[in-house]
Homo-oligomer: A and B are copies of this chain.
């Protein structure tokens, strides 16, 4: 089934589970002329758990404006059920800033997909603590900002980045950004910073995961995309994938194979974030992926 981004909207809901939610939501939308094209739901526990819902619907037959629909939905449905919710239009492209250090593969994968039209975002800027990737980024017509960081200038650098990002960005991707962000920085973008970690978390958190994996003699390596929280490498996992390795693979081979994993896993996670397919539930995620 193919639908047009121009006419597609999405409703995401989190609320305490109780009977009647789907009925109330779908009946409300039906009476406003909405045509639902995707509906996915999840209950963490039908007795006293949380309920999650994602709807995709088409707007051409809507009998009111989107903003009027939002107003009415809030009053009529969301309030009585105690919902956290939002309605987005697929045509409103979120603004994605990318933070990167020297490794370019994860960044290039995103830029390349964006250039081809696979990733429905605007990219206001790429920020790096190194200048190396300026030319590569600018060749895509994307702004590049170099914000050096040292142990001494960490606070200052974060302040500078926050100033650059302010009002310019809806979410941030850490495409192998090798500096740890402070809890203060993270608090500006809760559940809106996606990181790619080059291991199968929770195994090999922290530095040099490929070296750790090599020394441990694992037969499978992995990559993990997750939301960043104040606790390093512990945020809610969005996506993971793995690849087989053997005693024949050097650390260099693990890094090479891992790059391919990182590119694929990050691209999927970003796509799902952009399409409103991820709902954070405490330290876990609900993923309404295709």
Contact = CB atoms under 8 A, between A and B. Distances in A.
A79 interface: no
Contacts of A36: 19, 22
B247 A284 contact: yes
Interface residues of A, number: 69
How many copies are assembled? 4
A264 B241 CA distance: 14
A247 B58 CA distance: 20
A116 B107 CA distance: 13
Given A2-B252, A43-B37, A58-B46, A216 B237 contact: yes
A45 B256 CA distance: 19
A108 interface: yes
Contact of A39 (B34, B41, B216, B217): B41
Interface of A: 1-3, 19-20, 22-23, 26-27, 29-30, 33-37, 39-46, 49, 58, 61, 104-105, 108, 112, 116, 118, 139, 200-204, 216-220, 222, 236-242, 246-250, 252-253, 256, 260, 264, 281, 283-287, 290
A26 B22 contact: yes
Best-surrounded residue of A19, A250, A281 (most CB of chain B within 10 A): A19
Contacts of A219: 237-240, 287
B218 A220 contact: no
A13 B249 CA distance: 20
B23 A19 contact: no
